Structure 1
């Protein structure tokens, strides 16, 4: 069995997360591991042996579609197929832009908001979001006339890092600075703990990358986000 030696915890953030601080969220089958499907679809293998790849294939067939965040696009394990594979820019922030005044309140979100959070994420598709994704970390949002119109929060937590994620704005409420200010607040909260913040953006999304850079994020590496489903 050949171990995957990581030069950095962010090289394979899913495996680093599910074998570290968030291992309580993991479902493991032999050499394969995935996040519990109520929380997310992220998965990986503990090494690059044929046995572990076979375990990943079995896990996909048992529990459904998974998403891999890896340095390269892997070969599909037995019994699976690649649905999509896209390059993403992994970005890290060690400092954040200064706060600025806004004319809206940023409110903490929790279980009572779960249905609205899932609906907003389903509409706007900021990335994989499931019934309990909001429990992965602190989320904040903006309400207009009682409706949740924007949110951002935290997701994966490899040692020393916390991922900013779930940044989305209802199409009818874009252009008001919600995404930037919410992400700035999430990032500042992470940095205040002594950790570094990181996130992922599709590599061809120049608008999003520009926003993240304006807040203090810098590109670290290109990774591949690959969706695997049962064949």
Structure 2
């Protein structure tokens, strides 16, 4: 059974592991650097800044995560969407994204934005299926990324 809950400090090691492992599987892992400092400061970056960080568990096992952070008065950024490779294809990413969007709406944000690498095809499909539109491309540390945006009603 899949359940969602808010991040707790005891989850830190599991979050770090899933973050690295999932990116390594796609070839998008750049090693530890300032680009992922937020993973090591979840309370400050997300929970104490009008954001959210959710943990997905299946039968008590940590299998997925996702978050958003405030980037402006009416803007929030989806971050750290990860599903363990052994648990992909079960709709867990969709469940997390749906819940994050509900919480974004409840906090009054009007625009959601995010980026994902061109290597992360399942992530691109998830975002596009959920109404995110490509608004540009960028290059980050040598990896091409797609910039997405969605208006929240």
> TM-score, normalising length from structure 1?
0.48
Residue among 203, 209, 215 paired with 2:118: 203
Tell me the distance in 1 between the aligned counterparts of 2:121 and 2:39: 26
* 2:45 aligns with one of 117, 136, 151: 136
Q: Does structure 2 retain, via aligned residues, the 8 Å contact 1:120–1:168?
A: yes
Q: 1:135, 1:178 → 2: CA distance? A: 25
Residue 194 of structure 1: CA displacement?
Answer: 2.2
CA distance in structure 2 between the partners assigned to 1:184 and 1:107 by the alignment: 13
Gaps of 5+ in 2: 30-35, 47-51, 143-153
- Alignment of 1:113 with 2:15, yes or no, is no
Higher relative CO (Cα under 8 Å, sequence separation at least 6) belongs to 1
Which is richer in helix?
2
* Conserved? CA contact 1:107–1:140, under 8 Å: yes
Tell whether the 8 Å contact from 2:18 to 2:84 is kept in structure 1 after alignment. Answer: yes
Tell me what 2:137 maps to. Answer: 222
- Contact 1:154–1:164 at 8 Å: present in 2 too? yes
Q: CA RMSD in A?
A: 2.3
Q: Pick which of 131-140 and 142-151 moved more.
A: 131-140
Q: Tell me the TM-score normalised to structure 2 length.
A: 0.69
2:88 paired with 1:190:
no
Matched positions, count = 125
Tell me, what secondary structure is at the counterpart of 1:201? strand
Structure 1 distance, partners of 2:118, 2:72, is 22
Q: Runs of at least 4 residues of structure 1 off by over 4 A?
A: none
Secondary structure class of the residue paired with 1:142: strand
Q: Does structure 2 retain, via aligned residues, the 8 Å contact 1:110–1:139?
A: no
The higher radius of gyration belongs to 1
Q: Deviations over 1:72-119 (max 9, x none)?
A: xxxxxxxxxxxxxxxxxxxxxxxxxxxxxxx62211112121121111
Structure 2 distance, partners of 1:151, 1:159, is 24
